[in-house]
A = this chain, B = another copy of it.
Amino acid sequence: MTNAAPITDRIDDPESARESGRQKIDWAREHMPIMRALREEFETDQPLAGERIGMAMHVEATTAVLTETLAAAGAEVAITGCNPLSTHDDVSRALDAHDSITSYAERGVDDEAYYAAIEAVIGHEPTITVDDGMDMVAAIHDDHPELIDSILGGCEETTTGVHRLRAMDDDGALEYPVFAVNDTPMKRLFDNVHGTGESALSAIAMTTNLSFAGKTIVVAGYGYCGKGVAKKAAGQNAHVVVTEVDPRRALEAHMEGYEVLPMAEAAAKGDVFVTTTGNRDVITAEHFERMDDGTLLANAGHFDVEIDLDGLSDLAASTREVRPGVQEYELSSGKRLNVLAEGRLVNLAAPVALGHPVEVMDQSFGVQAVCVRELSGTAYEPGVHDVPDDLDREVAEIKLDAEGLGIDDLSDEQTEYMGSWDHGT
Contacts and interface: CB of A to CB of B under 8 A. Distances in A.
Interface of A: 23-24, 26-28, 30-31, 61, 82-84, 111, 114, 133-135, 138, 163-165, 167-168, 171, 173, 185-186, 189-190, 194-195, 198-199, 201-203, 205-206, 208-214, 231-232, 234-240, 243-248, 250-252, 254-263, 265, 278-281, 294, 303, 305, 322-323, 326, 352, 354-355, 357-360, 392-393, 396-397, 399-400, 403, 405-411, 413-414, 417-425
A212 B198 contact: yes
Contacts of A406: 261-262, 265
B164 A421 contact: yes
A243 B408 contact: yes
Contacts of A254: 214, 400, 403, 405
Contacts of A114: 425
A178 to B, nearest CB: 12
Given A209-B61, A420-B167, A255 B26 contact: no
B359 A214 contact: yes
Contacts of A403: 214, 254
**Which of A199, A209, A360 has its CB near the most chain B CB atoms (within 10 A)?**
A209
Contacts of A279: 410, 414, 417-418
A194 B322 contact: no
Given A247-B400, A425-B133, A358 B209 contact: yes
A83 B238 CA distance: 31
A209 B247 contact: no
14 contacts: A23-B322, A167-B421, A173-B421, A186-B251, A189-B248, A195-B211, A198-B212, A214-B257, A232-B236, A245-B408, A245-B409, A245-B414, A250-B405, A279-B418
A204 to B, nearest CB: 9
Contacts of A248: 185-186, 189, 392-393, 396
**Which of A173, A294, A392, A424 has its CB near the most chain B CB atoms (within 10 A)?**
A424
A105 to B, nearest CB: 13
A303 B199 CA distance: 29
A31 B326 CA distance: 14
A393 B247 CA distance: 7
Contacts of A231: 237
B206 A354 contact: yes
A154 to B, nearest CB: 14
Contacts of A189: 248, 252, 255
A211 B235 CA distance: 14
A236 B198 contact: yes
A237 to B, nearest CB: 4
